[in-house]
Chain A
Amino acid sequence: MICLELEQHLDSYLDREIAADSAAAIREHLRTCLSCRQRVADREAVGRLVRSMPYYEAPDRLHRHLSTRVRRTRVTRHLFAWAAAAVFVVAVGGVISLVRPSATGDDRTAGDVVDGHVRSLMAGHLFDVRSTDQHMVKPWFLGRLDFSPPVVDLASAGFPLVGGRLDYVSGRPVAALVYQRQQHTINVFIWPTLSDRQNIGAWTLRGFHVRHWVRDRMSHWAVSDLNETELSEFVAALRRM
């Protein structure tokens, strides 16, 4: 162990984020090296100074406000539960019939996702978060959408994930995941749905292919100028994950 090595691992050593054998080697080195001991002591002092900072506590006003808000949500939920029960009773009585989303509704959405796809390429706004790491893309959506979209990388199937962004489709904020196949971009738009569609819908609009399916109550819409065979391959790979 030389001093330069210690310098590289100084922080992870102090933060106990280093393997046990490396830590032992550092301790051994410190026994004999005064200047490194000094360096460690200095580093520890900086940490102590930061820890000596006063803790800013949330004002009572904020505590009160949020507690009230949580309780109010609870009361509202009770009301919703009663309202839902009432609707159910009426429905069983045969007065209300549920209207399933019509095919024309899906056709319109297919047009909207193609618009979204084209917009993302034309405006040069393909990414809000550019990363091939699904573990970075997924948390990025946290706090930006009221749902958590499934994010998987498909690099192993030849469709690497390259990023994500927020988009608007049919008047609602949705997650858009961006995948790449050579020069082709694939946008996958995702949002929650109540539909339990089993099959895959297919459209071709303005030279773009669209595939739509539902999984775990999430509506998925894949759009690309990629050829139909490869897009089907992509969809199959995504649905396998």
Chain B
Amino acid sequence: MPSRVFEETVLPHLNAAFNYARWLTRKDEDAEDVVQDACVRAMRFFSSLRDDDARSWLFAIVRNTWYSRVTRRGAINPLPLDMTDDPADSALNPEARLLQQHTVARVRDALEQLPVEFREVLVLREIEGMSYKEIAAVVQVPIGTVMSRLARARDRLSRVLKSSPAAMERAR
């Protein structure tokens, strides 16, 4: 019975899907709407799930659902394709200082400030522990792009975290 299989293969990833959607939307209510829509779609297209990677499959649907909502609302400014890399930060602080200085709230703010294309690869890699291949399947970009986005996301995040709190306030 397909719906039982759906319940057993897809619903176990509901929390992960919500966490991903929450980082995409930055709002609880929006994340809930996106995940609900995505799961309803997933139920309908369940027969298109070919391999056993239900998590990447569900995440891709979550992302498509989210993306069509924001583009419909005209609320997104997609990453320009010709965006050049940021200059590398040569003066890195020791890790201990980084860790001490930053509370959870500060890191969350810094992550939320990142362009969503950078934020999501960090969440998928660090929090979900996905491989580059899995991330590529979710985000629907080549693996090379996943790699460069991750590198730039980490560069930016460490730079934001090292900038002064005052600068962060202004940036918001």
0/1 interface trace, chain A 33-72, chain B, CB 8 Å (1 if under):
0000011011111111111111111110111011101110
Complex CA distance for A125 and B123, rounded to whole angstroms: 33
Interface magnitude class on chain B: 35 or more
Asked whether, in the complex, the Cβ of A70 is within 8 Å of the Cβ of B11, the reply is yes
Interface stretch (choices A100-108, A143-151, A195-203) = A143-151
* Smallest CB separation, B123 vs chain A (Å): 7
Asked whether, in the complex, the Cβ of A50 is within 8 Å of the Cβ of B3, the reply is no
Asked whether, in the complex, the Cβ of A139 is within 8 Å of the Cβ of B140, the reply is yes
A227 within 8 A of B: no
Asked whether, in the complex, the Cβ of B95 is within 8 Å of the Cβ of A15, the reply is no
Contacts of B140 in A (CB 8 A): 136, 139-140
* Smallest CB separation, B50 vs chain A (Å): 8
Contacts of A10 in B (CB 8 A): 151
- In the complex, the chain B residue whose C-beta lies closest to that of A38 is B92
Asked whether, in the complex, the Cβ of B4 is within 8 Å of the Cβ of A74, the reply is yes
Our pick among A41, A53, A55, A73 for the contact of B107 (Cβ within 8 Å) is A53
Contacts of B48 in A (CB 8 A): 142, 147-148
A77 within 8 A of B: yes
Interface magnitude class on chain A: 35 or more
Asked whether, in the complex, the Cβ of A50 is within 8 Å of the Cβ of B45, the reply is no
- In the complex, the chain A residue whose C-beta lies closest to that of B42 is A143
Complex CA distance for A39 and B137, rounded to whole angstroms: 29
Our pick among A15, A39, A58 for the contact of B35 (Cβ within 8 Å) is A58
- In the complex, the chain B residue whose C-beta lies closest to that of A71 is B3
B99 within 8 A of A: yes
- In the complex, the chain B residue whose C-beta lies closest to that of A39 is B92
A5 within 8 A of B: no
Our pick among A42, A57, A148 for the contact of B95 (Cβ within 8 Å) is A42
Contacts of A170 in B (CB 8 A): none
Question: For residues 107 through 135 of chain B, which have their beta carbon under 8 Å from a beta carbon of chain A?
Answer: 107-108, 111, 122-123, 125-127, 131-132
- Pull 18 A–B residue pairs with CB atoms less than 8 Å apart, ordered by A: A7-B88, A12-B132, A39-B92, A41-B94, A46-B158, A49-B161, A50-B122, A53-B111, A57-B18, A57-B19, A70-B7, A70-B43, A73-B43, A136-B142, A143-B41, A143-B42, A143-B61, A145-B45
B residues neighboring A (CB under 8 Å): 1-4, 6-7, 11, 14-15, 17-19, 22-23, 28, 31-32, 35-36, 38-45, 47-48, 57, 60-61, 64-65, 68, 88, 92-95, 98-99, 102, 104, 107-108, 111, 122-123, 125-127, 131-132, 137, 140-142, 147, 150-151, 154, 157-158, 161
Known: A42-B94, A50-B122, A58-B32. 10 other contacts (CB 8 A): A42-B92, A47-B154, A56-B31, A70-B6, A71-B3, A143-B41, A143-B42, A146-B45, A147-B45, A148-B47
A residues neighboring B (CB under 8 Å): 7, 10-12, 15, 17, 38-39, 41-59, 61-63, 65-67, 69-71, 73-74, 77, 133, 136, 139-140, 142-148
